[in-house]
Amino acid sequence: DVKVTQSSRYLVKRTGEKVFLECVQDMDHENMFWYRQDPGLGLRLIYFSYDVKMKEKGDIPEGYSVSREKKERFSLILESASTNQTSMYLCASTLIGQGYRFFGPGTRLTVL
C-alpha cells in the first residue's frame, strides 16, 4: 500500500522558533511537494523538488526553505516561525508524468 507519512499530526511552536516538518514516501517517487491549506484560500504550493538536492519555489515560498538529501525524504523548514504560518501543511509525491499527487495526512501547525 502506497504511503506518504509526515512526522507530526499536530505541532505547537512559539514565534521565532525554527520548525522542521518531515515527509517520507515509500513509492520511489521523483517529485515531492509541500502545500499549505487555509480556509478560503485552498491548497497553495510552497516548494517542490523533482530530484535529490533539487528544489523549486512554488507560489508562496517566502518564509520557508526545503531540503531533500534523500529521494524518499523532503523537509520543510520555517526559519523563524510567525503567527501567519499557522496552517495545515500537506506533503505530496508523484511519479514523473503521473499527474496526480499522493498526499500525506497533514501537519496542523500552530504558532503562538
Partner 1 sequence: EDQVTQSPEALRLQEGESSSLNCSYTVSGLRGLFWYRQDPGKGPEFLFTLYSAGEEKEKERLKATLTKKESFLHITAPKPEDSATYLCAVLYNFNKFYFGSGTKLNVKP
Nearest to 66 by CA among 48, 41, 84, 91: 48
Q: What is the Cα–Cα distance from 58 to 79, expressed in whole angstroms?
A: 17
Q: Should residue 104 be labelled a site residue for partner 1 when binding is judged by CB under 8 A?
A: yes
Closer to partner 1 by Cβ: residue 38 or 79: 38
10 vs 69 by CB, closer to partner 1 = 10
49 touches partner 1 (CB under 8 A): no
Among 41, 52, 54, 95, binds partner 1 (CB under 8 A): 41
> What is the Cα–Cα distance from 67 to 47, expressed in whole angstroms?
10
Residues in region 52-81 near partner 1 by CB under 8 A: none
Tell me the backbone φ, ψ of residue 83, rounded to 5 degrees: -60, -30
